Amino acid sequence: MEAISQPESRLVGQGVVLVFVAALVSGVSTFVNFYAVKGTDSDAFVTVRNVVTAAFLVPVALVGARTLRAPLRRVDWGRLAVIGLIGGAIPFLLFFRGIELATAAGGAATATFAYRTLFLMATIFGIVFLGERFQWRVTAAAALILGGNLLLLSLVSPLWTNGTAYVLAATLLWAGEYTLSRRVMRDLPSRTVALGRMGFGACFLVGYLALTAQVGSAAALTGGQWEWVLISAVLLTAFVGVWYAGLQQVEVGVATSVLVLGFPVTFLLSVTLQGSAFTFAQLAGAVVVAAGVVLAVGRSQFRATWQYLTRAPFSRPTA
C-alpha cells in the first residue's frame, strides 16, 4: 500500500480534488468545443481561443509571481518556451485537425479513443523521467479505463485514419508536456507554468498563422463565433488553472488517469442535453472507467483527499 507522509498528505489531497475538478471542466469543454469549432477554420479558432486564454491567465500569474523567490532564470524561460511549444501550440493544431479528418473519414470514435491513451503514455513517462513508482494496481486500472472507453465509444470501422495519427501525435506531445511541467513545477509556481504554456503557445500559434497565410481567417470570425471563442476560452482558462495546480501535487500518472473522467462527463452531457441515444454497454463503460480511475488513485490518496475536505477551509494550503 502507498505511504504518504503527514506533511504532504494535505497537499496531495488538495491536488486530487483539483484534478477531479479539471476532469469535470475538461468534459464540459469537450462538449462545448463540438459546437464552438463548427463553421470555423480550426487553426484560426485554436489560435484566437488560446490567445484569449493566455490573456485571462495573466492576472492569475501575477498573483503567483509574488511567491517567486528570485526572477526567472534563462533556463526557466527556456523550459517554459518548450512547454508552450509541445503543450500549448503543436498538439492543439494536431488534435483539432485530426478530429476533423477522422470525422470526415468516419473514424471519429477511434481518434477519440487514441486521445484516451494519454494516461498510459504519461504514466510511462512519469516512471522513466520522474522516478514515479510503478504499482500493481496500475495495470488493472489501465485495463478498466481502456475497456470502459471501448464500451463508451462502441468502435466501428474504419479503425485507423490519418486523423487518428494526428490525434495520437497530439496525445504523445501532451503526455510529454505534462511530465515536463510536473518537473518544472518543483521550481516554479503552477500559475507561472500555466501562463508559460498558454502564453508561449499563443505566440507560436500566431506565428504559425502568419507563416501559413491564415491570419485572415482569424480576422474574419463573426460575432457569433467570437461568443463561442470566449466561452471556450473561459473553460480552457479554468481547466489550465486547476489542472496545473493539481498536477503540482499529484503524480502525473494518477492525475492523467483522473482526467479520463472527462469523457464520461461529455457522454452524459450528450445524453441529457442533446437527447443522444445510449446503450447499456455505454452506461456500463462509464461505470467501468470510473472504477478504473478509483483504482488508479488508490486508497491512501483518497484518504488524504477526505482528510483535506473535512478540515477547516481556512487552513488549507494553496498551490
Among 45, 263, 241, CA closest to 148: 263
Residue 232 pLDDT greater than 50, yes or no? yes
Residue 314 pLDDT greater than 50, yes or no? no
Residue 2 pLDDT greater than 60, yes or no? no
Per-residue confidence (pLDDT) for residue 228, from 0 to 100: 96
Q: Convert 230-258 to b/e letters by CB count within 10 Å (16 or more is b).
A: ebbbbbbbbbbbbbbbbbbbbbbbbbbbb
Per-residue confidence (pLDDT) for residue 190, from 0 to 100: 94
pLDDT in tens, 29-68: 999 998 999 889 999 999 999 999 999 999 988 875 666 6
Cell of 28: 464540459
pLDDT in tens, 82-130: 999 999 999 999 999 999 998 888 877 778 888 989 999 999 999 999 9
The mean pLDDT value for 59-80 works out to 81
Query: Which DSSP string do the residues of 221-275 spell out, in sequence order?
Result: --HHHHHHHHHHHHHHHHHHHHHHHHHTTS-HHHHHHHHTTHHHHHHHHHHHHH-
Residue 6 pLDDT greater than 60, yes or no? no
Cell of 193: 507554468
pLDDT band at 179 (very low <50, low <70, confident <90, very high): very high
pLDDT in tens, 129-166: 999 988 878 889 999 998 998 888 766 557 788 899 99
